[in-house]
Chain A
Amino acid sequence: GAGVSQTPSNKVTEKGKYVELRCDPISGHTALYWYRQSLGQGPEFLIYFQGTGAADDSGLPNDRFFAVRPEGSVSTLKIQRTERGDSAVYLCASSLAHGELFFGEGSRLTVL
């Protein structure tokens, strides 16, 4: 597709379970970002990839959160031992090396 694609669009899980969220960026975009948006808040930065490497992971809240981008395209955000406080919309964005960010529609995670 032409835009950033995120799957699943909705995920409901139980406390303590493992979750993976996928982001398929715009073809040719080398930069990829993950943000988290809690209810009533603006998006908060989690991690930034330039190519395959995580150039800035300063926004990851703790070591239960991890993200990979092994081939410099698709990225997966992984959350271990989910907690109710992890419930949020997880947004992915991509861009050329230095330019406008294009956002996906997000993956809504609900932890029961």
Chain B
Amino acid sequence: GDSVTQMEGPVTLSEEAFLTINCTYTATGYPSLFWYVQYPGEGLQLLLKATKADDKGSNKGFEATYRKETTSFHLEKGSVQVSDSAVYFCALSEYRSFGNEKLTFGTGTRLTIIP
């Protein structure tokens, strides 16, 4: 079945450091890939997505590129801020039926940025 493996945390970085959170996936077809973020006290929010190979998703300075050859979707940001402290989830969705965006999530990576 489908699965997502992401870098275990917690990850602690200093402000303005470079961030990479690794994510690899296993899927039978051609999934869409997502990064979700959960800020303290809030619900999960979509951060970015990519729907086909070589697509790059980007938002709020974060980027991730859909790499079919390595089955990866690593999250990167060039200069993190304290406000980026959150839990990050990598996820995939395979088309099953119209409208069914059934997501398979990784275990999450807790990121803490210190000033």
Residues of A within 8 A of B (CB): 3-4, 30-31, 33, 35, 40-45, 48, 50, 55-56, 91, 93, 95, 97-106
Residues of B within 8 A of A (CB): 4, 41-46, 89, 91, 96-108
Number of residue pairs spanning A and B whose beta carbons lie under 8 angstroms apart: 64
Q: Secondary structure at chain B's binding surface: helix, strand, loop or mixed?
A: loop
The answer for the CA separation of A103 and B104 in the assembled complex, in Å, is 15
The answer to whether B103 touches A101, judged by C-beta atoms less than 8 angstroms apart, is yes
The answer for the CA separation of A3 and B42 in the assembled complex, in Å, is 11
The answer to whether A42 touches B102, judged by C-beta atoms less than 8 angstroms apart, is no
> In the complex, how many angstroms separate the beta carbon of B46 from the nearest chain A beta carbon?
5
**Quick one: given A41-B107, A42-B105, A45-B104, are A103 and B43 in contact (CB under 8 Å)?**
yes
Q: Name the A residues within 8 Å of B4 (CB-CB).
A: 42
Q: Name the A residues within 8 Å of B46 (CB-CB).
A: 100-101
The answer to whether B99 touches A103, judged by C-beta atoms less than 8 angstroms apart, is no
Chain B residue at minimal CB-CB distance from A51: B99
The answer to whether B97 touches A42, judged by C-beta atoms less than 8 angstroms apart, is no
